[in-house]
Amino acid sequence: MQADYSLGELAVRFGLELRGDPALRVSHVATLSSAGEGSVSFLANSRLRKHLGASRATVVVVDPRDVDACPAAALIGSNPHAAFARIATLLYPLPAEPPGIHPSAVIAADSRIAASASVGPFCVVEAGAELGERVRLGAGCSVLTGVRIGADTHLMPRVTLYPRVRIGARCLLHTGAVIGADGFGFAPDAGTWVKVPQVGGVRIGDDVEIGANTTVDRGAIEDTVIENGVKLDNQIQVGHNVVIGAHTAIAACTGISGSTIIGKRCMIGGMVGFAGHLTIADDVSVTGCSLVSASIRQAGSYSSGMPTVESRAWRRMVAHLRRFGEKER
């Protein structure tokens, strides 16, 4: 059900230079190697330029440096990946969702749901919750007491928002995301644990994406905060009172322990573990599977972890490491 656009329209709309016939039309995206007629592809990395020559795409979005290697029409801009993303967004519009509340949904009398919002089957919207304009809830979402959701935010099926969670505008939350469950707070007491009520909230900014089965705990006393434009992949764990700075992107399976503060525009790899109460500067990159056990004060790229090698070689490595662990000889 894709739309269909001429190259001329795309060039004008996205401020790209066109080399080729403006009347050619495209309806779908493709990789360079699988592209056929009517498709738009892109080349974001000049090292892959060799794939350009054989491509049968109708048009390729390219950087000016790569245009000469392009056998098809070219849409030329300084950021081909972002331009391609915008074209794809145009070609694949979200299916329209008629506003309204499915008759099976259970809606508290004193909740406030914009008339333009859409609430799917088997949703629960509790007392005092507010859903802004054009908010969409997929099937089986639970929006508990006092939650607020900003305009144009979409929840896929089975997202749960615990009481008093605040979510900004234009966010996308994927299935299984759980926002605002209790942080892990227990006081030791004579060999057992006393639960510390988790009475803070969660504040999520605008334009945030949260992946499937990701969990963001509510604060112990004050709030857990996810700033504007943050992108969280699947199965990430965000502990209580964590702050994630604007436009930081975090790959899947990463865990962030309580009260750690991550800066703006960071890029965090997958399966990274952050200890608690750390401060990570703006513009920090951390490669996948790193263990971040101390604060990082300077922008830059950081790593840890051992390389995978044949198991026999690994056993020798481990034997060496164990020796380093022995007391000074």
Residues known to be catalytic: 240
Q: C-beta of 248: minimal distance to a copy of itself in Å?
A: 10
Site for a copy of itself in 133-172 (CB under 8 A): 138-140, 142, 144-145, 156-158, 160, 162, 172
Beta carbon nearer to a copy of itself, 22 or 199: 199
Please report whether residue 45 would count as binding a copy of itself according to CB under 8 A: no
Please report whether residue 291 would count as binding a copy of itself according to CB under 8 A: yes
Beta carbon nearer to a copy of itself, 21 or 208: 208
C-beta atoms surrounding 162 within 10 Å: 22
The Cα 199–Cα 164 span in angstroms is 10
The Cα 45–Cα 84 span in angstroms is 13
* Cα angle: 306, vertex 312, 315; to 5 degrees: 55
Q: How many CA atoms lie within 13 A of 50 on its CB side?
A: 1
Judged by CB under 8 A, the stretch of 16-24, 111-119, 147-155, 314-322 that binds a copy of itself is 314-322
Site for a copy of itself in 49-78 (CB under 8 A): none
Is the Cβ–Cβ distance between 110 and 93 less than 8 Å? no
Site for a copy of itself in 202-261 (CB under 8 A): 207, 209, 211-213, 215, 217, 221-222, 229, 231, 233-235, 237, 239, 247, 249, 251-253, 255, 257
Beta carbon nearer to a copy of itself, 21 or 54: 54
Q: C-beta of 291: minimal distance to a copy of itself in Å?
A: 4
Judged by CB under 8 A, the stretch of 16-24, 46-54, 109-117, 308-316 that binds a copy of itself is 308-316
Helix (H, G, I), strand (E, B) or coil at 219: coil
Backbone φ and ψ for 202, nearest 5 degrees, come out as -135, 130
Please report whether residue 263 would count as binding a copy of itself according to CB under 8 A: no
Site for a copy of itself in 6-35 (CB under 8 A): 28-31, 34
The token pair that represents 200 in the structure block: 């803070």
| Nearest Cα to Cα of residue 174 among 149, 146, 141, 151 | 141
The Cα 35–Cα 56 span in angstroms is 5
Site for a copy of itself in 89-128 (CB under 8 A): 89, 91-92, 95, 102, 104, 106, 120-122, 124
C-alpha separations of 38 from 3, 23, 244 in Å: 11, 12, 41
